[in-house]
Amino acid sequence: MRKETNLLFSFLMFFGASVFLFPISSGASFSIGGVQAHHLTPNSILHISIFVHLCEAFLGIEPYFDLFQYFFHLKSHPNDSKVDVVGGAGLQFHQVKQPKYILYDLSDKVIDWKSMWFYIRNLSSSLPTRTPGPPVKKSSWNSKGSGGGDQVNFLLEEIERLKADHQICGASVVTHWSMWRIQPLQQWVHLGFQYTGGADPSRYSRSKITKDDLKDRVLGLLKNVAGTANSAGTFSAGRHPREINPENYQSRPPLPKDVPLAHTDSSVPLTSFVFGSN
């Protein structure tokens, strides 16, 4: 790692298939229990990407942290006694919770990704300050959030409805953000359910994705994808959520102490993923 304060390093797999780009969704900061982006595995970032877009485009709310903690926890890689500096923390489902989520199988072809790194410029210190060393496991890594509650239970019912009525799965979510030509973890001008179409300023390309590129993108991230994924039932500026008032469905953890000023200068609500501080 170079000493220049205006340079950070990242990994090609984090950017492949339009999965990852700082700053994270909705002008947010990125901090999970002291874990930074380079501490995570590519599949962990894919978990976050799918969750963020599921919330914004399919549930019609900003990313709901209690729901995220209901499904996921962090685990040291490769184990607690030996933690890698790069990729030393991975997101996994809490036991017995996975069947309540949308179905997808992560690719097992993510190999040799640590050697494919590059530098990126940290313009105006807009990215969080990097912390050297491996991630330090905290009790909050295994937190289950509020453990439920009326809103989480309602959102679980909404996910079940999406699966039953529209056969929504992980491939549906990846297909949808790829067709929208956005990156779920980029800084948005607005949230996903406010997407305005082909001229939306959050799009990284005005051109439509081809069927072949779309297929390659989905199959490059997920395995065991059968047939064409359905992405019906989504929300945008032209189709607002009916049952849910987005302003009433907010679950935001406290922002980490080192949030750059650039992240707090946005009209979009800040959303960070922080597994506590203990």
Q: What are the residue boundaries of the structural domains of the chain, listed by start?
A: 7-264
The per-residue pLDDT for 113 is 67
Nearest to 275 by CA among 90, 119, 139: 139
The per-residue pLDDT for 155 is 93
User: Would residue 102 be called left, alpha or beta, if left means φ above 0 and alpha means ψ between -120 and 50 degrees?
Assistant: beta
Question: Does 50 have pLDDT greater than 90?
Answer: yes
The per-residue pLDDT for 274 is 44
pLDDT tier for residue 72 given thresholds of 50, 70 and 90: very high
Q: How far is CA 267 from the centre of its chain?
A: 20
With beta carbons less than 8 A apart as the criterion, state whether 233 and 162 touch. yes
Question: Does 147 have pLDDT greater than 70?
Answer: no
With beta carbons less than 8 A apart as the criterion, state whether 236 and 195 touch. yes
Q: What is the pLDDT of residues 193-232, one digit of tens each?
A: 889 999 999 898 899 999 999 998 898 889 899 877 888 7
Environment class of 206 (CB within 10 Å of its CB; exposed 0-12, middle 13-18, buried 19+) = exposed
Average pLDDT, rounded, for the chain: 76
Q: How is residue 37 written in tokens?
A: 């982006």
With a threshold of 0.85, does the pTM exceed it? Answer: no
With beta carbons less than 8 A apart as the criterion, state whether 24 and 134 touch. no
Q: What is the pLDDT of residues 7-37, one digit of tens each?
A: 665 655 555 533 443 333 333 334 556 777 7
Backbone phi, then psi, for 8, in 5-degree steps?
-130, 160
Q: How is residue 38 written in tokens?
A: 């380079």
Give the residue with greater pLDDT, 250 vs 222.
Answer: 222
For residues 62-88, give the mean pLDDT: 88
